[in-house]
Amino acid sequence: MVPDIAVVDLLGLLAYGELTAFERLATDARMAPTLVDKIALASMAAAEFAHFETVRAHLLRIGVDPEEAMGPFVSPLTNFHNLTAPADWLESLVKVYVGDNIVADFYREIASVLAPDACALVLDVLADTGHAAFAVERVRAAIQANPTVAGRLALWARRLMGEALTQAQRVAVDRDALTGLLAGIGDLQALAEMFERITRAHTARMDSLGLSA
């Protein structure tokens, strides 16, 4: 059976996203202010790599070369991360919690039109690895200690929102198979409702951090 091109594209995108998440968390651990924080990020990085291995194994099972599946997404995802490189520890936490989750929400929406087994795989890989509670606790504590950082972090989060959605849409449009998955979500009204759900989730995460959306 020939693998569905759209599924291969989405899994290739997801696999490379998880691989870069591992790399970024391992790098961000070097900015951690305490050993406890460093260990926490290292643990999260390991969880992201395990997710990458899960997707890679699935691609191999369906007869797809993981490197070929990931190849089309190396440049756009690298460009996104270069444009949103955090300047410090707090910005790295906001990127993990806000930026990565915006993209994950977009992937979950697309996965909703996949076959049940493929959808379950995507949702499993996108499950929280402890990022949320860790980031919220650290960012809120930093704001409480120094309220002036809130404005800077709020601006950073808004930038992440814009860049993440722009990049996600661009990648989907550039790949015909992914465009087909978006079309499967429904008409323009359905797509508008999808982006509204993503925006509401972003606002809720900003509230959790104690930042204005």
Cα–Cα dist 203/29, whole Å = 26
Give the dihedral of Cα atoms 39, 44, 57, 167; nearest 10 deg: -140
Instruction: List the Cα angle 26/158/14 in 5-degree steps.
Output: 45
The lowest-confidence range among 61-65, 152-156, 158-162 is 158-162
Class of 5-209 per CATH? Answer: mainly alpha
Predicted TM-score (pTM) of the model is 0.88
> Residue 63 — left, alpha, or beta (φ > 0 → left; ψ -120 to 50 → alpha)?
left
pLDDT tens digits, residue range 114-140?
A: 888 889 999 999 988 778 889 999 999
